[in-house]
C-alpha cells in the first residue's frame, strides 16, 4: 500500500478539524493512526473512505489520485471496506442479510452467490450459528465481527477501521483484535484508528500521531513508540502507556 496525502484540510462550520495534513508512506501493509480524542483521526479516516470531502488538499492511493466528484467517490467506496466503532449494522436485518445486502445491491452478486460468500465468512468467524439473528440478539463482539465480515466480503483493496473495539469489554476486544490480526497476516492492507496501543505496536508497520488537526509525527512503529521525536507524541504515549 502506498498513500500520499498533501495539505488536506477540513472544516465543520468554524472548527478546523484537519489543518493541512500531509503524509507520504510507501510499501507498507498497515498504518495506525493514534492521538488524543478530537485530533482529527476519524475525519481523516472518513476522507480516506470517501465518506467526507476535504475543503482542500489532495489524496493519492496506490498511485491513483482520488478525485472528489461523486462518480469517482462511488467507485472508490466500492473498493474499500469500512468498519465503524458503532457497528452500523441494519437493526431490522439478520446477521446474514447484513452481509449479503451490499454484495447484491452494490457489487452485483446473485442472491445465491452472495449467501455462499457470507456464510463462508460467518463460519470462519464462528458466527454461522447466529446467521439468522438480528443485531439486538448478538453480543457487542459478535456484532463487530459481523461488521468486519461485511467489510471483507467485498474483497476490498484496503480495510479501514475506526476504533473497532471502543464499545467492547476486554474479552470481546481480544476476539475482535485477533480477527483483525488474522486478516493482516493474510495480506489485507489496513488503516486503523485505535486507542489500543499494545495492539497498535503489534499490527502496525507505520504509525502516525495526530493532534490538533495535524500529523505531528510519523514513522516506523518501533521508533515512534520507543523514541518519539515530538514533545506532543512523547506526552501522549507517556500518559496512555502509564498503567
* 186-235 confidence digits (pLDDT tens): 999 999 999 889 889 989 999 999 999 999 999 999 999 999 999 999 99
157/231 Cα distance (integer angstroms): 35
Contact 51, 224 (CB under 8 A): no
* pLDDT for position 170: 84
Q: Looking at the predicted structure, is the pLDDT value of residue 61 above 80?
A: yes
pLDDT at 86 over 90: no
Res. 104 pLDDT band, cuts 50 70 90: very high
- Tell me what pLDDT residue 84 has: 87
Average pLDDT, the chain: 94
Cell of 41: 483521526
Confidence band of 174 (pLDDT split at 50, 70, 90) = confident
CB 58 within 8 A of CB 6: yes
Dist CA 37 CA 34 (whole Å): 9
3-class secondary-structure state, position 52? coil
pLDDT of residue 33: 97
Q: What is the pLDDT of residue 87?
A: 79
Least confident range of 26-30, 35-39, 82-86, 221-225: 82-86
Q: What is the predicted pLDDT for the residue at 167?
A: 75
Arithmetic mean of pLDDT, 30-52: 96
Contact 68, 55 (CB under 8 A): no
Give tens-digit pLDDT for 140-172. Answer: 889 999 999 999 999 999 999 999 888 788 888
Half-sphere exposure of 223 (CA within 13 A, CB side): 10
pLDDT of residue 172: 83
- Sequence-distant (6+) residues with CB within 8 A of 4 are 23, 24, 25, 58, 59, 60, 61
- The pLDDT of residue 89 is 94
Asked whether the beta carbons of 152 and 127 are under 8 A apart, the reply is: no
The answer on pLDDT for 113 being more than 80 is yes
- Measured between alpha carbons, how far apart are the two ends of the chain, in Å? 34
Q: Domains in the chain, please, with CATH?
A: 3-13+27-85+157-240 (3.40.50.300)
pLDDT at 243 > cutoff 80: no
Rounded to whole angstroms, how far apart are CA atoms 151 and 160? 9
As a whole number of angstroms, the longest Cα–Cα distance in the chain is: 55
Task: Report pTM.
Answer: 0.93
Amino acid at each position: 500500500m502506498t498513500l500520499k496525502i498533501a495539505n488536506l484540510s477540513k472544516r465543520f462550520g468554524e472548527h478546523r478539524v484537519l489543518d493541512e495534513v500531509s503524509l507520504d508512506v510507501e510499501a507498507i501493509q498497515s498504518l495506525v493512526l493514534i492521538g488524543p480524542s478530537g485530533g482529527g483521526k476519524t475525519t481523516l479516516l472518513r476522507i480516506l473512505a470517501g465518506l467526507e470531502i476535504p475543503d482542500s488538499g489532495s489524496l493519492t492511493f496506490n498511485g491513483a489520485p482520488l478525485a472528489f466528484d461523486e462518480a469517482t467517490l462511488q467507485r472508490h467506496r466500492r473498493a474499500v471496506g469500512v468498519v465503524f466503532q458503532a457497528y452500523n449494522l441494519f437493526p431490522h436485518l439478520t446477521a446474514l442479510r447484513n452481509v449479503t445486502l451490499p454484495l447484491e445491491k452494490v457489487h452485483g452478486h446473485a442472491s445465491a452467490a452472495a449467501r455462499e460468500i457470507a456464510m463462508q465468512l460467518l463460519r470462519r468467524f464462528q458466527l454461522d450459528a447466529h446467521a439468522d439473528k438480528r443485531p439486538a440478539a448478538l453480543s457487542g463482539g459478535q456484532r463487530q465481527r459481523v461488521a468486519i465480515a461485511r467489510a471483507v466480503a467485498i474483497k476490498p483493496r484496503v480495510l479501514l477501521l475506526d476504533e473497532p473495539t471502543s464499545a467492547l469489554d476486554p474479552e470481546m476486544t481480544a476476539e475482535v483484535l485477533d480477527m483483525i490480526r488474522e486478516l493482516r497476516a493474510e495480506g489485507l492492507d489496513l488503516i486503523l484508528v485505535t486507542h489500543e496501543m499494545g495492539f497498535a505496536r503489534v499490527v502496525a508497520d507505520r504509525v502516525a500521531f495526530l493532534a490538533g488537526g495535524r500529523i505531528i509525527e510519523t514513522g516506523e512503529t518501533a521508533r515512534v513508540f520507543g523514541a518519539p521525536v515530538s514533545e506532543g507524541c512523547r506526552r501522549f504515549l507517556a500518559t496512555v502507556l502509564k498503567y
